[in-house]
Amino acid sequence: MMRRFVICLTVVSAVLGVTKAADPAFKKVSKTVSLGKYTPKGIVKFNGVSVSKRIIPDLEKLIAAAKKDRLTLKVKSGYRSYDYQVKTFNSWTENERKKNPKLTRKEAEGIANTYSARPGHSEHQLGTTVDVLSSENGFQFSSDPKLKYIAWLEKNAPKYNFTISYPRDSKEYVYEPWHLRWYPPKKIVALAKS
Ligand SMILES: [Zn+2]
């Protein structure tokens, strides 16, 4: 009797473990919501870039599907730790102050924050977010609407559970068509709830 109870509890907690609320892949991150010093589990290398191993099957499918449509995509950036973000944000802020020495530190941070997240506020800290670039412009960051891969990603990324977090009308950051966040497929969440 006791054993059955223990097994039952294990099953319930296993199911609950992958529900939307508990799954870190659903964590909200924004300019006002911080992840703090959160460190995800299961970070591995994918073609030299650190990412959560959970996203690799869908990432491989996305890249293969693009290839069929004659587009060569490459993951340029993935997981970024809290400490890495501190360095990056400081360097963007310094860059703004070099461009305009009259800016106060706070003003320079404000400008940097239109295109770069403050430490703890980047979706890249989740490990499930990647920047994907294309060979058609030498793998450069660009939101030029003439780039074929941008339209391709807008249409096809959702098929592989990726969302463009900062679309054309984003109020959070400037348009970043290359920035894709992966969410666990709905069927997994539905299964966990049933
Ligand atoms: Zn990004």
Assigned domain for 102 exists: no
115 CA to centre of ligand 1 in angstroms: 10
Domain total in the chain: 1
pLDDT digits (tens, 9 = 90+) for 75-108: 999 999 999 999 999 999 999 999 999 999 999 9
Average pLDDT, rounded, for the chain: 90
Q: With respect to residue 156, please indicate whether it lies within any of the assigned structural domains.
A: yes
In angstroms, what is the span from residue 11 Cα to ligand 1's centroid? 36
Cα of 1 vs centre of ligand 1, distance in Å, is: 51
Q: Is residue 112 part of a domain?
A: no
Question: Residue 135 sits in a domain of what CATH number?
Answer: 3.30.1380.10
Query: 188 pLDDT band (50/70/90 cuts)?
Result: low
- The per-residue pLDDT for range 158-186, each reduced to its tens digit, is 999 999 999 999 999 899 999 999 999 97
Q: Would the pTM count as exceeding 0.85?
A: no
In angstroms, what is the span from residue 129 Cα to ligand 1's centroid?
7
The Å distance, Cα 19 to ligand 1 centre, comes to 25
Given a cut of 50, whether residue 16 has pLDDT beyond it is: no
77 CA to middle of ligand 1, Å? 7
Place of tokens 């984003």: 170
CA 54 to chain centre: 12
Residues near ligand 1 ion, CB 5 Å cutoff: 131, 179
Residue 192, domain member (yes or no): no
The confidence score (pLDDT) of residue 19 equals 58
122 CA to middle of ligand 1, Å? 8
pLDDT value at residue 194? 47
Which structural domain, as residue segments, surrounds residue 71? Answer: 28-80+122-184
**Does 22 map to a domain?**
no
CA of 65 to the centre of ligand 1 (A): 21
Asked if the structure places residue 91 within a domain, the reply is no
State in Å: Cα 187 to ligand 1 middle. 26
DSSP states of 21-52? TT-GGG---SSS---TT---S-EEEETTEEEE
Q: Is residue 58 part of a domain?
A: yes
110 within some domain: no
- Is 159 exposed, middle or buried (CB count within 10 Å of its CB: 0-12, 13-18, 19+)? exposed
Phi, psi of 104 (to 5 degrees): -75, 165
| pLDDT of the residue at 21 | 62
Mean per-residue pLDDT for 56-67?
Answer: 98
9 Cα distance to chain centroid: 33
Expressed in angstroms and rounded, the spacing between residue 21 Cα and the centre of ligand 1 is 24
Measure 18 CA to ligand 1 centroid, in angstroms. Answer: 25
